[in-house]
Amino acid sequence: MKIVILDRDGVINFESDHFIKSPAEWKPIPGSLEAIARLTQAGYRVVVASNQSGIDRGLFDMDTLNSIHDKMHRAVKAMGGRIDAIFYCPHSADSNCDCRKPKPGMFERIAGCFNIDLTHAYAVGDSLRDLQAAATAGAKPVLVLSGKGKATQADGGMPEGTLVFDDLAAVVEYILKS
């Protein structure tokens, strides 16, 4: 099975320093929905793995998160694509859970649910914690320079072998040519 794991904010949609707290605040990065559609049409499974500490912080509730994700699903579907699953961590950074990136818990759940070895999976994110979780779980870490990606690249310390691209569309172009 071919699978690509995507962080949400900063990869699929624009990032916000104040969290995406409503469907109205969720706005796709140009080219991201088409990129997901290209993966889907090429036979890839697309899975989202996202820290969503706004739930634990009381900034939004599960119904709101589900509405945001429903908007994302519909937008991707309108372009001819599909997101096969969404995994998220609702905990804040101080909760010490196993699912919050940079820990690999979400990736391990994805591997278990899809019964796959992640060594051939690309995991795309815009932050160091996305890359660390991917690398620890055995996936191929990919940094996009959208969202917080430029700052992440400037700060350094990325896992060895991290691939770097301007945005999700460029990542998908690379994957489909590989």
> Which domains can be identified in the chain, with CATH numbers?
3-177 (3.40.50.1000)
What is the mean pLDDT of the segment spanning 14-21?
A: 93
Active site residue 7: yes
Sign of CA dihedral 96, 65, 37, 167: negative
When pLDDT is cut at 50, 70 and 90, the band that residue 40 belongs to is: very high
Beta strand ranges found along the chain (DSSP E): 3-6, 45-51, 85-89, 122-125, 140-144, 163-165
Q: DSSP letters along 125-137, please?
A: ESSHHHHHHHHHH
Task: Please determine, for residue 95, whether its predicted confidence score (pLDDT) is greater than 90.
Answer: no
Active site residue 9: yes
Task: Please determine, for residue 46, whether its predicted confidence score (pLDDT) is greater than 90.
Answer: yes
- Count Cβ atoms below 10 Å from residue 129 Cβ, excluding itself: 17
What is the mean pLDDT of the segment spanning 147-158?
A: 97
Cα–Cα dist 113/58, whole Å: 29
Three-class DSSP category at 27:
coil
Write down the mean pLDDT value for the chain.
97
What is the mean pLDDT of the segment spanning 42-56?
A: 96
